[in-house]
Structure 1
Amino acid sequence: MRHSLLPFLAAGLMAVPVMAQEQAGNDPKPGLAGGHRKAAFIAAHDTDGDGAVGLDEYNAIRKKRFFDADADGDGALNEAEYVAEFQLRLDQQYADQGRTQGDERYAASMKQAHVRFAIVDRSRDGSLSWAEQQLVAASSFNGHDTDENGVVDAADPKPVREDQDDQDGPDATADTASASDEVSN
């Protein structure tokens, strides 16, 4: 079970979902800050606007975000750099959606960015290396590329949750792990 959540836990710079995206009927358009759902993943990484994210496209934007966020130029991100990069994308997403940054969801998203840093800093040295980031990126991409064709798009089937697979048979699917089962990415 623990490993099945890794793609969603390990979003690195990908982003935390804004809680409104999780509430039916109140879904703002996915944005730059991303989230767990496939639409949010695509919105956060589809640089050419074709509705799909190829592995090269994904890696290019992750690399740009990582090194742009490296304010001190040491080739790694400390927690402040990591959180600041996410905050820039979250602020832009809120502006694009006409939402107010001072709301409860914004505060929760920012708090979650600190939690995410602790998760993706696998060496526990207070620094996210490019190698650590790449492990996170591969896991995240593979979690969304469920048909394993190297592209994340609307055609990718919903992932089968490991806990449902044994209990409910092969037709059990979930859009994402629930917020109560995981830490946001």
Structure 2
Amino acid sequence: MSRISRFSSALIAGVFALTAIAAHAQTGEGRGGRGGMLERYDTDKDGKVSLAEYEAGRQNQFRRIDTDGNGALSFAEIDAAGAEAAQRGGGMAQMMQQRLAALKAADTNGDSSVSAAEYKAYVDAAFKALDKNNDGFVTADEFQAAMPGR
């Protein structure tokens, strides 16, 4: 399978995992200490997430995973973040692990790490896949519409 095909497949898996987290949060079940994805990324509290808000939230995650601070996510760092999610347990942890595993496919140059540029491309593609009406925003309805089986 080509790197582009792997990236596309992983992007779809990652989007489903992200939207599963968001939809779970929208039901009120995921509003614990971390809050729902829409709540976390919607910094201006207008009920929708812009690309800029989405990128800013994802950059925060990038910095948390990049434990050595070198500006790239090694597969070891991604695996460590997945193991940390697994320790938390529950369905949310499983979805986080799936999303982190999908992130590895963003390594389009095959160097076993995800650079900031590769990560941005991955994040932008995920946002575009979620923004079904191409208005530049993702709403709770669009998050939920991206759920498998909907």
TM-score class normalised by the smaller sequence = 0.5 to 0.7
Larger radius of gyration: 1
CA distance in 2, matches of 1:111, 1:137: 17
- Structure 1 residue 134 corresponds to structure 2 residue 120: yes
The answer to whether the 8 Å contact 2:51/2:136 transfers is: yes
Q: 2:12 aligns with which of 8, 13, 22?
A: 8
Displacement of 1:128: 0.6
The answer to whether the 8 Å contact 1:6/1:140 transfers is: no
- Structure 1 residue 175 corresponds to structure 2 residue 148: no
Q: 2:69 aligns with which of 55, 67, 73?
A: 73
Q: Deviations over 1:37-91 (max 9, x none)?
A: xxx6524522343321111111122223213432212110112323445666x58
Q: Deviations over 1:162-183 (max 9, x none)?
A: xxxxxxxxxxxx923638xxxx
Residues 134, 32 of structure 1: alpha-carbon distance in 2 compared, 3 angstrom cutoff: farther
Aligned residues: 140
Residues 135, 31 of structure 1: alpha-carbon distance in 2 compared, 3 angstrom cutoff: farther
CA distance in 1, matches of 2:32, 2:12: 17
Please report the TM-score for the alignment, with normalisation by the length of structure 1. 0.54
Q: Which runs of 5+ in 2 are unaligned?
A: none
* More helix per residue: 2
Residues 124, 33 of structure 1: alpha-carbon distance in 2 compared, 3 angstrom cutoff: farther
Residues 31, 146 of structure 1: alpha-carbon distance in 2 compared, 3 angstrom cutoff: farther
Equivalence map 1:51-62=2 (5 Å): 51-62=47-58
Q: 1:145 aligns with which of 120, 131, 136?
A: 131
The answer to whether the 8 Å contact 2:72/2:115 transfers is: yes
The answer to whether the 8 Å contact 1:54/1:152 transfers is: yes
Secondary structure of 1:128's match?
Answer: strand
Residues 58, 5 of structure 1: alpha-carbon distance in 2 compared, 3 angstrom cutoff: same
CA distance in 2, matches of 1:110, 1:151: 23
Q: Which runs of 5+ in 1 are unaligned?
A: 35-39, 92-99, 159-173, 180-185
Residues 17, 154 of structure 1: alpha-carbon distance in 2 compared, 3 angstrom cutoff: closer
- Structure 1 residue 117 corresponds to structure 2 residue 103: yes
CA RMSD of aligned residues (A): 4.1
The answer to whether the 8 Å contact 1:31/1:43 transfers is: no
Matched to 1:101, the amino acid is R
Please report the TM-score for the alignment, with normalisation by the length of structure 2. 0.64
